[in-house]
Amino acid sequence: MPERIRIGLIGAGRIAQVYGQVLSDIGRDVELLVVADVRAEAAAETATRFGIPQWSADYRAVLDRNDVDAVIVATPTSTHVEVVKAAAAAGKEILCEKPLALTVAACDEAIAATHDAGVRLMVGFMRRFDTAYQMARQKIAEGSIGRPVMYKGTGRDPRRTTLEFARRESSGGLLMDMGIHDFDLARWLMGDEVVRVHAEGACLVYPELAEVGDIDNAVVNLRFASGAVGNVDLSRNAVYGHDIRTEVLGATGGVRVGRGTNTDALWMTPDGVAHDLMLLPGHRFAGAFAAEIREFVRSIREGTPPSVTGADARAATAIGQAAVRSLDEGRPVMVSEVL
């Protein structure tokens, strides 16, 4: 094993920029050798921005390199399985952005490919590596709030994504792409599996989203195997900033994560009290992305499975797939219906 894990970044979109910045900042443990994107200009610009030695318009050029130990897959969700399977066949360790795939069956393909090739597959649920979420998880596991009985998640973006990205066949749309984080956190924090979902949603602000099969606001009710309940609200029009909050209510207490600000500073004037806003997810979770990559590197060095696995990704995708079916069919859907 080399002194630093040598990484290829596959993708040069928004989330890939976050990974590029984080990899540049923690360069002691990793070396980012190459970036690839079908948009050659985007690949070249990303290479220049982060001082990456080489770039390519074909991700296979990354996989063909013997000096690349691992890859980060940050391509559109609809391409994840293809890239993961190719990376596994090339013997590369893999950190794949969420969701792993748009269906449970596709997740199974990716998981099987990495298992057969004997390579690691970690999936990018970076919120698990945020200090506040880890503290919440520990306190819940210690019994500090008693038996968890209710989960509440809020995930709101300040503006809509591009129409091309919003297409279900590309990203899975609002429920899958944005909701997947909370579907994962719900399982992780509650220590329980979601067995039924009921989704409601609509295009209320951006009617053009309907043209590509997406919505801009939704609520998803959850029922857990233990009987506990939950709710997730999602929005693309939180014009005040990037709003991520989570709460778990237990039988004897509760825990809440998220404040929606970059800092704890308040500006107090005769006109009122104000604070800054969290405008981009990279700001709120920069430390979590770094911790996620360090966990990926640790698992490679120590020869152990990563703490977030393909099975975790499969379970979150199942909840998302059930939520999409619930929205389309206007009824509660058992998660078992999509398995």
pLDDT, tens digit, 9 for 90 and up, residues 157-209: 999 999 999 999 999 999 999 999 999 999 999 999 999 999 999 999 999 99
Bridge partners of residue 245, in order along the sequence: 154
Q: Is 96 in contact with 86 (CB distance < 8 Å)?
A: no
Tokens of 201: 């949603």
Bridge partners of residue 224, in order along the sequence: 194
Rounded Cα distance, 178 and 317, in Å: 11
pLDDT, tens digit, 9 for 90 and up, residues 291-329: 999 999 999 999 999 999 999 999 999 999 999 999 999
Give which of 16, 13, 61 is closest to 34, Cα–Cα.
Answer: 61
3-state helix, strand, coil in the chain (%, to 5): 45, 25, 30
Give which of 64, 114, 75, 116 is closest to 94, Cα–Cα.
Answer: 114
pTM: 0.94
pLDDT, tens digit, 9 for 90 and up, residues 31-66: 999 999 999 999 999 999 999 999 999 999 999 999
Angle separating helix axes 286-302 and 14-25, nearest 10 degrees: 70
Q: Is 75 in contact with 59 (CB distance < 8 Å)?
A: yes
Residue type, 49: R
Domains belonging to the chain, first-starting first, are: 5-125 (3.40.50.720), 128-286+316-338 (3.30.360.10)
